[in-house]
Structures are given as C-alpha cells and as structure tokens.
Structure 1
Amino acid sequence: MSQTRPLGAQISHMLKDRGVDVIFGIPGVHNQEMYRGIEEAGITHVLARHEQGAGFMADGYARATGKPGVAYVITGPGLCNIMTPMGQAYSDSVPMLVISSCLDETAATKGQLHQMKDQRAAAETVCDWSEEARTAEAAYALIDRALMEFEAKRPRPKHIQVPIGVLQATAPEYASEAETEPYRTKGDAAAEVVMAHLQDAQSPLFVFGGGVQTGLAPAVAEAAGAATFTTFAARGLMVGHSLNFGASLARPSSAEVLAQADVVIAIGTELAEVDLWRKDLGHNGTLIRIDIDPVVLSDNQRADICIQARADDVLTSLVDMLEGHTPKTRWNAKDIAAQRAYWRAEVDAERPGLIPVCDSLRDAVPTDTMIYSDMTQLAYTAKEVWDMDGPGHWHHPTGFGTLGYATPAAIGGAVARKGKPTMAIIGDYGFHYTMQELGVAVELSLPIPIILWDNGKLGEIEDSMIRAQIAPNAVIAHNPDFCKLAEAFGAYAAAPKSLTEMQEAVRAAFNADGPTLIYLTPDISTPD
C-alpha cells in the first residue's frame, strides 16, 4: 500500500530506496521539511558547520565510494555556500546531488528571507544542470534522472530545488526503482580500432586518466609492450608495470618522451591544462582519444582518432584481444627508471626539503589509506613523487583548485570507509577556510590524521610573484596556535620536531578515538 507524506519526507525515503545511506547538510527554516523523513528512512545525516564543508564532505564521500554524495541545503546563502564544492566536483567529475529549497515565488514579492534574483541560474554556473521541481512528480523524475546520468554520462554535480510550499504539501509515494542493466558502451568496436594500431606499433604509449576505474590497465599495457603515463587522478593505477613513467605529465620534458611514441592512446583523461601545464601533449605519432565525454574529444589536442566510449569497457575488450599478441616494443625499463629519477631530482630542486617529508610520511601510512590533500606545496610535491599502492586513493582539488578542501573531504571519506584509514594533508592558509569542520570529525570520533603544513605564508604564491618579478605582497597572515585550536575543538594535537617523531605521531593518530592535528613546519626536514 502506498503511503502519502509531505514531499520533503518522501524525497528522503526515495533516496534511501535508490541506495543513498548518508546525507550531508545543515537544516534551516526553509529546508526543515526535507529533514522530516531522514531518520524514518534510515539515512545517516552528518551535520556540517558550513554548507561549504557539507559540499566537500559529499565530494569526499563520493570519491571514496563511487556513489553520489548527497547534500541538503537551504535557500539563498545555503545554496551560495555550497557552490564552491559544486564547482570543484564539476571540474573533477564527481557525482554530487545537491537538493535545496527555494522560495515559492520571487517576481512579485521582494525582501523575503534568503531571497536571490535567480537561485537556479546561479547554481547552474557550477554544475551539470540545475532544475526546479514544482510538483512531486517532477522532483521524483529529476532525482532519477540525476542518478541515471551519474552512471550513463561523465559524472558531474546536479542541483534540484523545490519550492517550500511544495516540500510541505502532501505527496504520493514515488515509484519503486526499476531493475536496469549497468550502463555500457560499445567497448569491442573501440578496442578493435586501438588493436589495429597496436599490431605494428614499436613504441606504443598509454596515458591513463581518472576515468579508468578497472584494474585491467596494467595487464593491457604489459600485453601491448606499452609505456605509460598516468594523470594525477590515476596515480596508483600502474603498480608493478616496469614501463610506467608515473604521474609526470606536468614535467616539461615529458613532451620529449611522448614525441618518441609512434602511437599514443589517451584514455579516460581530459589532457587538461592542470594535467599538462602546456598547450598540447607533445606527441608526433598517432593520437587516439577515448572518453565518455564528447566535449573532451573535440578539444585542441590534435587527436587523429576520437572514440566516445567508457574507458573500462574498452580495456575489458582489449585484454581479450591482446591475448597471444607479441609486442615489438622499443621501451626500456632501465631508461624509464632513469628518467623518473631525473624528474624526482627536478622536484627536489624546485621545492627543497619536501621530498624527505613525503617519503617519511609515506612510510608511516598504512596500506589502503585514502588521502585527501589541499592546495599546498607539500601536496604538490607528494603528487609527483609519492607512488601509490593502488588507484583511487589520493584525492586532490585539481581542476577548480579550491582551498579548504582536504579536511571536510577527508571527513566524508572517513564516513564512507568506516574502519579504514583516511588522512588529510592541508596547508596553514587552506586550513583557515574550513577549520570549523574539525568539530564534525570530533563529534563522529573519526581517527583522521590531519597533516597541517605551516610554512608561515602563501608559499606557492610568493614563489610565483618572485618568478614574475613582483615584490611579494599579501602572502603572510597571522596564524593561531593550531595545536591549541585543535585541542579546543576536542581533537588531539602533536607538533613533532623530527621526521621520526612525525612518523610516531601519524601511526598513533590512525589508532586514536578521534582526529589528530599533526603540525609540521619546514624545520621538520632537518635530519634528526
């Protein structure tokens, strides 16, 4: 027998029916109807301290699970506050569903609480689409559309707003979820095109991006005798592959390496500015692009062959087609190892003292740790030199490049992965943006080590100003005593003076009954 409820309650019940277990958000007078059904539906709600934090938590949850992160926010300022996380999720292809209330009408009445000129249009600037549901049926249809598109298209955030009066009104029950087959593309046809070019290739090269989720990539590269690069988003994908150049596409001389390939297959990657930091890939041979997003395929990378397909479907087909293939590769593992060592030396010269910190930190982190990093020099270094044990375990606000991401995103990841290790790496300035979310980690007793790198300034911006021959200006701000601040929230804190002490603090933090802020300064890289 169907059950009628206010639409606000029905939405939570529908989300639970569709597999949503956690919602991040903040209740207010304009969206309280959405909170009527959360507990009854059996959904866990995580109360953020700011809507920006709620959005980053939903992002972190989505990256950890592959499921959409869902957030409830209020009209007006609540929606504005979550727009930065929506922009980050859009840039990094993260499935996020933001549901907000909205005023019943705005044209004839002015001066209302939380009023915006056009809330829906504002949200649309940072997400895939933003729609208003003026009936219960429309709300149900838009929720199902969003969930379907997360599977069938490049996953990007969606926003649905519902007028307050519609949320309050009694609504019929939503339809049960229909059983559907998992979304697939024609991987066989795409793989045949790739295979035709691999048959006679003597220096094939794959560039794997974050759109590759399957663990088949190493087997494909090995069978093809191909060298590989990964983007930052795909780090850890090529464990054990001796012909892997690593996540070094942003090194200028990587273009010289790519120029040696007679065929380059870029799969599941935008090859964006933040991947390359140059206008084009630098290839001379045939470039084949494979991506689910046609916009990516129509960019200015001069691809010879563009194939719209899901990366994993193509790799699944290629594994079978490559069986029995005898590669004619010219790539040499020793040469590749030497090239990687050269790039590591470049990183060390550019950011002296940071590699030893990264190496020591890596040695102290348990296997299967999921790491969320922020816009800070320690993370920039780690992304180039820290070899991951597996894919999908390092998340960084790469495209939009927002500060304050790491702490709340790690909270979302820890909520998603109960009992599994999660860590945040953040800079002193970025920590200011979302420091209040430390209270959420304490409230939930999450054992997250938060590595806070304090160089006393906006170091990356200062370096950039100096390179541009600008006298450094506005790059130093007064910081609090971060350890005392953490303790005031009820968190643990440590300020190790050596790399050995840092490792001990990190290991203890993973076994604590709450978050631990681990305060590091550049002095930590001085030998014990």
Structure 2
Amino acid sequence: MPHTRPLGAQISHMLKDRGVDVIFGIPGVHNQEMYRGIEEAGITHVLARHEQGAGFMADGYARASGRPGVAYVITGPGLCNIMTPMGQAYSDSVPMLVISSCLDETAAKRGQLHQMKDQRAAAATVCDWSEEARTAEAAYALVDRALREMDTDRPRPKHIQVPIAQLEAAAPPFVAGGLIAGNSAAPEAQMREVAALLATSKRPLLVLGGGTTQASDQVRAFLGKCPAAVFTSYAGRGVVAPSYGLLFGSTLARPDSANVLAEADLVIAVGTELAQVDLWRDRLGHTAPLIRVDIDTEVLSNSSDAHLRIQCDAARFFEAVTAKINGAQTVWDPAAVAARRARWRSEIDAERTGIVPVCDALRACLPDGTMIYSDMTQLAYAAKEVWDMDQPGHWHHPYGFGTLGYAIPAAIGGGVARKGLPTMAIIGDYGFHYTMQELGVAVELGLPLPILLWDNGKLGEIEDSMVRAQIAPNAVIAHNPDFCKLAEAFGAQSAAPQSLHDMQAAVRTAFDADGPTLIYVTPDISR
C-alpha cells in the first residue's frame, strides 16, 4: 500500500509510475526534497553542469525517445537558466516537463535567496503553460495534465513550480495508473473531399513537416497509390525515402521552390507551420487549392489561404485518404525533379564553399541509424538542405528559437535515450563556448559520442550577413582555445584530421570509443 511521503519524494514516485525513467537537473537547497525520492523510485538522474544544459538534455532525450524529457531545477536562477531550452522546445514542439521549487511567499517578503518578482509568469513566456501547485493534490493533477496533453495535443514544454514548504510537507499517495490515450481521428466528410480533389489532380504536391515523423509508413503507402511531388521541412526529412523519384527534399528555402509550388494543381501541407524558418519568404508560392492538416488549432486558425483545414493526426489522415483513393496518374517528371535538385545543390555549394563535400564525406561514414544533433553553424545550415535522411526523426536542430549551444547537451540526452545506438553532435566553434562544460557529463556517462567541431574562426554566418547588408564586420571574431587540449582536459578523446578521409576514420573510431571524442575540423579540410 503506498504510504505518506514528503511531496518532493511523491512527485518522483508518481513520475516513475507514469513512465519516466530519467530526470536531468541540478540539486540545490530549495529543490533537494525533489531528490529524496529519485533513487528510491528507480529513476536515473543525470547531473548537468548548468541548468541550460539540463534543459537541452531533456529536449534531446525527448526527441530521441518520443517520451517527455523531465528536468528538476531550483528557484530563481535555476529556472531562468532553463528558460532558453524551454523556448527552444516550445518552438520545435518537444515534450518537456520542468519542475522547479519556488518561494512560499514573495509579495510581502523581500531579500530571500533566489527571489524573483514573478517566477511563474516569467516561465510562462517560453512554454505552453506555467502553474503553481500549492497542494499535493494540485501537484498530482498538474503532472497528469502535462503528460496527458503532451500525448494528445501538440507536444510542448510545461512548467510546474511547487513551494518549498509543500515539497517538504507530508503528502498523501497519488493515484497509480496510466494516462488516457489521445484520439485525433480523421473527419469522414473532409476525407471524402480530399479524395475527390486527388481524383482529379494531375500535379498533387505534399509539404511534410516535423508533425509527420511518426507517420512515415502511412505517407509512403499513400505515395505508392498517388505519386505526388514532395517537399519536406528540415524537421520532416526522412519521412519519404531519399530514393523516391519525386522528392524535392528539404529545399523550401530555395527561392525557386515557389515556382515549383506554382506548378502544382493541389497542395497538401501536413504537420508544418510553414513558418519563416521553413520558407524564408512571406508566401508558399502556390496558386492551387491548399489543404492544411495539423493537430494544432492555432496553426489551422492562421491558415487563412487554405481551401480546407483539417484537425487530425498525420498518420490517421494518410491512412484515411489512402483507403479512399483507387490510385492516381500524375504528370510530375522525375528527371525534371532531379535536375532542379542538382541546380539547387550547386547553389548551396557556391554559397557555402567547401561545406557540401564535408557533408557528403560525413554521411558516407556514419553507421546506419545514426542520430544527429546539430547547432547553429554553417556546416549544419548546408547539411539541412543537401542531406536527405534515410529515416525520420534522426536529425535534430534548434530550428525555431535558434539558440547556440544546443548540440552537445541535446546529443547527451539522445545518447542516454538510445544506449548502444549511434549518436553524434555537430557544433561550431562559437556555439561550443556556450555549453562546453557539458562535455564533462558525456565523459562521466562514458557516452561514445563523436562531436564534430566546425571551426571557421568566427561567427561566419553573421559576418556574411553584415557584408550583404554593407556593414563593416565587427564583433564576429573571438579568441578560441586549443579545442583538442580542452576536450582532453575534460577526459574526452580528440582528433584533428587533415583530410576528409582522415575525418571519416576519426568518426568511425569515435563511435567505438568508451567516451566522447571531439573531432576538430576547419574549412581547410576540403581544399
């Protein structure tokens, strides 16, 4: 029979009951009661070096596992430090639950340790919702609400804060048991209308976003009956096989992609916001009817140019539509698709000289099923457009919020979620400065994590932008350390290959190491 425990301990036991196996965080005097029950509940705790790292680890864990990433942080600065990862998780639809302590009283008392004017409201600016649990019953209800919404609605981060006195107080048992499963069924009448439109379409075109990564089988089955042209967002890469002859890839940001969309006689956008960071232009470019499919009512409400708006899970949508079509003959030309992609690849190679060969060499040496976490760096920017993924949900990037320092801690979270499976990080020299301390966590955990550090000696993307804007580049160069020696000081291994062949060898070796390996690469490697 469950017994009374301090609420801090009960929360850990409840999370374990709800399927949580790992918590990322840093203990402090304010939240130490949350740590009372972690080991007793059988949960693994990963000690980050900074709360920002803990948040990115939870994000990486969630993206790799499909389960919520959970983090424990302290009042005030701990919560402030994790707000950047919360903002990133919000923009990229990542399920993350942040539980923090909070002061018992702030309105009539000043000068307390870690005091903020309104901690709950501050967190609310970067997550789906932020609430305070002033009783044990409220804490249990909010935990279940958060986990249930992550399962049934668009997954996004939530924050729950609990007053210190409540964490310390004896609390009754929570109710054991699972959560209610979601059911975003496809609306029958709208499915008939979609099927009717497809029956007369000769140039149907799909735009597939990150919301389709769990629907790859259903998408491919649909394309087997209706050979539509396909664009993916960066997050949607891998939903369609690279060998599919009508795949335009993740090239929506190419200005000429608007001309392709204008050729379509029906456009179906599924699981994508069609946001600025997807298109880098104001309009998609279509003139044909547009069907928007999404589980998020906000996305659908903002789709003023849509002929049809359908609130539905991507997998159920494609299952329902595929069952209603008898097959279709389209006039898209695979040779024309290939020619356009070749031209765009040449554009990317010209824009970022020397990076495309590095991407090709890196892709060729990775084990099957490698999961990649990248940072805001020019190597990743090029790779997102030229690197078709073999399977969905295996390249993670800070797309919307666009924070530096994401890749290493997120890859650590991914490595924790995928023990025994290949995971790697790609980061730039400047981004490495943001979260380099988390390298110690990867060493501590013995993660065989290759970290490809692309050092162009500057904030290269910002310098290029300044030049285009006719601004004399300034404040774009920082003094860098000897990155290899720094990695070794943490206890990691390092390599500084001088050729693409040597880089490939270093990457292969790193996957078999007993800890992380920093692989230092400069633009000279492809010359």
TM-score interval, normalised by the smaller of the two chains: over 0.9
Deviations 1:127-166 (A, max 9, x none): 0000000000000000000001001111100000000000
Unaligned runs of 5+ in 2: none
Counting matched residue pairs gives 524
The answer as to whether partners of 2:186 and 2:320 remain within 8 angstroms in 1 is no
In the alignment, which of 236, 261, 264 is matched to residue 264 of structure 2? 261
Equivalent residue, structure 2, for 1:279: 282
Q: Relative to 1, partners in 2 of residues 1:114 and 1:348: Cα closer, same or farther, differing over 3 Å?
A: same
Match of 1:338 in 2: 339
SS of the residue 2:425 aligns to: strand
**CA distance in 2: counterparts of 1:187 and 1:214, whole angstroms:** 17
Counterpart AA for 2:228: A
Kindly indicate whether the alpha-carbon contact (under 8 Å) linking 2:152 and 2:181 is maintained by their aligned counterparts in 1.
no
Matches within 5 A, 1:31-430: 31-178=31-178, 180-186=180-186, 188-212=188-212, 213-215=214-216, 216-239=218-241, 240-299=243-302, 302-322=305-325, 324-325=326-327, 327-430=328-431
What is the TM-score when the length of structure 2 is the normalising length? 0.98
Match in the other structure for 1:510: 511
Q: How far 1:222 moved relative to its partner?
A: 3.1
**CA distance in 2 between partners of 1:203 and 1:86 (Å):** 40
Distance (whole Å) between structure 2 residues aligned to residue 365 and residue 228 of structure 1: 26
Once the two structures are TM-superposed, the CA of residue 237 in structure 1 deviates from its matched residue by: 1.0
Q: What whole-Å deviation, never above 9, does each CA across 1:72-127 have from its counterpart, x for those lacking one? A: 00000000000000000000000000000000000111000000000000000000
Matches of 1:357 and 1:468 in 2, distance apart? Answer: 28
Aligned alpha-carbon RMSD (Å)? 1.0
Cα displacement (A) at 1:2? 2.8
Q: 1:202-246 CA deviation, whole Å, 9 max, x = no partner?
A: 100010111011122122123112111100001011103211110
Corresponding residue for residue 519 of structure 1? 520
How far apart are 1:54 and its partner, in Å? 0.1
Shift of 1:281: 0.3
Is the contact made by 2:206 and 2:270 (CA closer than 8 Å) also made in structure 1? yes
In structure 1, runs of 5+ residues without a counterpart are none
Query: Over residues 353-404 of structure 1, what are the superposed CA-to-partner deviations in whole Å (9 max), with x where a residue is unaligned?
Result: 1000000010111110000000000000111111111110000000000000
Q: Shift in Å at residue 179 of structure 1?
A: 6.0
Aligned partner of 2:495: which letter?
A
Residues 178 and 393 from structure 1, CA distance in 2 versus in 1: closer, same or farther, beyond 3 angstroms? closer
More off after superposition, 173-182 vs 360-369:
173-182
Partner of 1:489: 490
Is this contact kept in 2: 1:207–1:231, CA < 8 A? yes
Distance in 2 of aligned mates of 1:97 and 1:55: 9
Question: Residue 490 of structure 2 aligns to which amino acid in structure 1?
Answer: F
**Counterpart residue identity of residue 425, structure 1:** I
Report how far residue 19 of structure 1 moved.
0.2
Q: Deviations over 1:17-62 (max 9, x none)?
A: 0000000000000000000000000000000000000000000000
CA distance in 1, matches of 2:179, 2:463: 55
Q: Secondary structure at the match of 1:245?
A: strand
What is the identity percentage for the equivalent residue pairs of Structure 1 and Structure 2?
72
Quote the offset at 1:192 in angstroms. 2.3
Check conservation: 1:280, 1:301, Cα contact below 8 A: no
SS at match of 2:408: helix
In 2: Cα distance, 1:451 partner to 1:225 partner: 38
Deviation at 1:505, TM superposition (A): 0.2
Normalised to the residue count of structure 1, the TM-score between the two structures is 0.98
State the Cα deviation string for residues 299-330 of structure 1 (Å, max 9, x = none). Answer: 256112111111111012122223x32x1311
CA distance 1:376–1:181, shift in 2 (3 Å): closer
**Structure 1 SS opposite 2:211:** coil
User: 8 Å contact 2:184–2:295 — kept in the other structure?
Assistant: no
